[in-house]
Structure 1
C-alpha cells in the first residue's frame, strides 16, 4: 500500500512471508537504503550461495528473476532482509506463516533455521524443481467456490493429471497439471461462471504429483537441515497446523513439492490463535491481500512503504 494507516490499537500481529511470483526487478531497494541489518542479510545470503543477490535483485532482468532457481533465493533473502529491519527495531511476531517457499523465511523468522542454510536449501529447491522433465503448467481461477473447483477438477482429470495446488482464498485457487487437463478445466470453469481463468507464466506444475521426480533428492536436502524448535507459532503450508515437532517441519518442507499450499486454511488457523493484524514481510502485498480476502476482519499492513516500520513502532 502506498501509505499505511496506524491501527486503532495494538493487535496481535502475525508476520506473513510471500512466495514465488512476488519477485521483481528492484526488490528490496527501500529496505536496503534504510537498514544496515538488511544489507548484512543480502551479503550473508550472497556469500552462502556464491551469487551477488543484491545485484540480481536490483538489476536482474525479469527473465533472470523469474527463473525458479533464482527467484526462490531472491525472495527469501529479500524477506529476511525486511525481517532484519524489523528485528533491529526490537520487533517480534506473535506467529508466522509463509506462502510456499516463503515458509523458509517464516522458519528463519521463528529462529528455527539459520539464514545461510535457508538460502542454500531454496537455491537447491529451485534447481531441482526446474529440472523436472514432466511437462505441466498452472492455472489460476477466480470467482468459484472451493467445492465447485473440486468438482470441475475431478471432471478435468479425465484428460490427464490435475490437482488443486494452492488454496489462496475462498474465491481464488491455483490448479497444477498437464496442459490438456488444465485447458479442459479452464473451459469448464468459464462455463460455470468463473470471474477469471489465467494460465500462469511458470515452467512446471508446482505443488502437484508431476513434481514427484525430485522428491528423493529433495528429501535428502531437507534431512540435512539443522533445525531448532521455533520461538513462536509457525503455521505450516501442507497441514495448516502449528509446528509441534521438528519432524513435522521436515515433513511439510518435503511434502510441499507435491502437495497443495493450504494458504487460506493457514490464515484461518492464525485467526484461531487470536491474530487480529498481519504484516507482510517482504517487498510484496500479495499474501496479506489474500489473508484479507479470507478473513475480512483482519487488519493488514505491508512494508512497501518504509513508513510502515515507524507506523508499527508508534502503535
Structure 2
C-alpha cells in the first residue's frame, strides 16, 4: 500500500461476510491499543472472546454466520479506530451487506456495542431459517443476461439475484435445483465460471422471509443517529436522508439484493476518486475497481501503512451540508 495522494475524494468501504479468515486482525491488534480496546468492547457486548475467535478459530466456528458477522464488524471497527486516532475522515462510506453496520458505526449513526449485538442476532436469525437454499456465484455474464436466465431457471424453484458485485459478477440465491439449472444455462451462455458457495442458506432472498418479522423488532430497537458522513445504502444505492431510510435498508437486506455495484457507481457520481477498504480484507475494494476502473484503491491489511497517512488527508474533503 502506498501513501495516498492528497487530491481527490476518498470513500471508506467496509467488507461483509465471506471476508473472514483465521488470523484476521492479528497485525492490527499488535499495532494499536485502540484496536485492542475495540475488540474488548465488542467481546463484552456479545459475551464471546472475539480476539481468540479471529486469531485462532477454529475455521468452522469463525465461518458460522452468527460468529462471522460480529467478528467482521469488530475487525473493521478496530481498523476504523486506527484511522480515527490520526484524525483521518472520509467523504462518504458504504458497507457490503453486514459491512453496512460497520459503515454506520464509522458515520456515528450506531454505537459499536449495539452494532455487534445486532449483527450477532442477525446471524443467529439467518442461520435459523428452515427453508433449504444455497448461493451461486456467476462470473462473466452481464446483468440483463443473468436476469433472463434466472427467469428460465425459476421454473425449477425459487431463484433470485442476491448480490450485484460488479458488472460481470453476481451471486444468486435459491433452491439447489434452480441454481443447478441456472448453472447449466449460464455455462452454455458463455459464463466464465459458476461456483456454488459454501454457505448454509440462501441469503438476501425471499427464502429468508421466515425471520424478517423478528429481525424487524431488532432493527426497530436500534437507537440510531443521523450520520455525519454520507452513507450509501445497500438496498437502494442512495445516501441516507432520514433514519427511516437506514432502518428500511437494514430490514430489507435480509430478503433483498445487495446492490454493491450500484453503490460504487453512486460514490463515483458523488465525485469519489479513491476508496479505502477498512478491514482485514481487499475484497470490496477490488470489486469497486471492477465496477469503476478509474478508482484508486487501498486496503488496511497492513495497519502499519496507516503511519503514512496524516492530517493532509483531510485537506481535500468537503464538510457535509
TM range (shorter): over 0.9
The answer on whether the counterparts of 1:302 and 1:308 sit within 8 Å (CA) in structure 2 is no
Aligned to 1:51: 48
Aligned to 1:83: 80
Aligned to 2:39: 42
Q: CA deviation at 1:8?
A: 4.2
Asked if 1:258 corresponds to 2:255, the answer is: yes
> What are the ranges of 5 or more consecutive residues in structure 2 without an aligned counterpart?
314-321
In 1, distance between residues paired with 2:2 and 2:144? 36
Aligned to 2:318: none
Question: C-alpha offsets along residues 72-105 of structure 1, whole Å, 9 cap, x if unaligned?
Answer: 0000000000000110111111100000000000
The answer on whether the counterparts of 1:236 and 1:266 sit within 8 Å (CA) in structure 2 is yes
One of 256, 262, 279 as aligned partner of 1:282: 279
In 2, distance between residues paired with 1:90 and 1:257? 34
The answer on whether the counterparts of 2:31 and 2:304 sit within 8 Å (CA) in structure 1 is no
User: Please, what TM-score do these two structures have when normalized by structure 2?
Assistant: 0.96
In 1, distance between residues paired with 2:128 and 2:308? 43
Question: C-alpha offsets along residues 42-76 of structure 1, whole Å, 9 cap, x if unaligned?
Answer: 00000001101111111111111110000000000
In 1, distance between residues paired with 2:80 and 2:303? 13
Asked if 1:159 corresponds to 2:156, the answer is: yes
The answer on whether the counterparts of 2:149 and 2:186 sit within 8 Å (CA) in structure 1 is yes
Asked if 1:223 corresponds to 2:231, the answer is: no
Aligned Cα root-mean-square deviation (Å): 0.9
- Map 1:118-137 → 2, pairs under 5 A: 118-137=115-134
Asked if 1:312 corresponds to 2:275, the answer is: no
In 2, distance between residues paired with 1:145 and 1:312? 38
Asked if 1:237 corresponds to 2:231, the answer is: no
The answer on whether the counterparts of 1:301 and 1:308 sit within 8 Å (CA) in structure 2 is no
Aligned to 2:17: 20
Q: Secondary structure at the match of 2:232?
A: coil
> What are the ranges of 5 or more consecutive residues in structure 1 without an aligned counterpart?
none
Aligned to 2:101: 104
Aligned to 1:186: 183
Aligned to 2:139: 142
Question: C-alpha offsets along residues 222-258 of structure 1, whole Å, 9 cap, x if unaligned?
Answer: 0000000000000000000000000010000000000
Aligned to 1:61: 58
Aligned to 1:169: 166
Aligned length: 312
Aligned to 2:317: none
- Map 1:292-311 → 2, pairs under 5 A: 292-311=289-308
Question: C-alpha offsets along residues 110-136 of structure 1, whole Å, 9 cap, x if unaligned?
Answer: 000000000000000000000000000
One of 192, 212, 216 as aligned partner of 2:209: 212
Further displaced range: 217-226 or 303-312: 303-312
The answer on whether the counterparts of 2:28 and 2:302 sit within 8 Å (CA) in structure 1 is no
The answer on whether the counterparts of 2:153 and 2:179 sit within 8 Å (CA) in structure 1 is yes
In 2, distance between residues paired with 1:29 and 1:7? 24
Q: Secondary structure at the match of 2:113?
A: helix
Aligned to 2:92: 95
User: Please, what TM-score do these two structures have when normalized by structure 1?
Assistant: 0.98
Q: CA deviation at 1:5?
A: 2.4
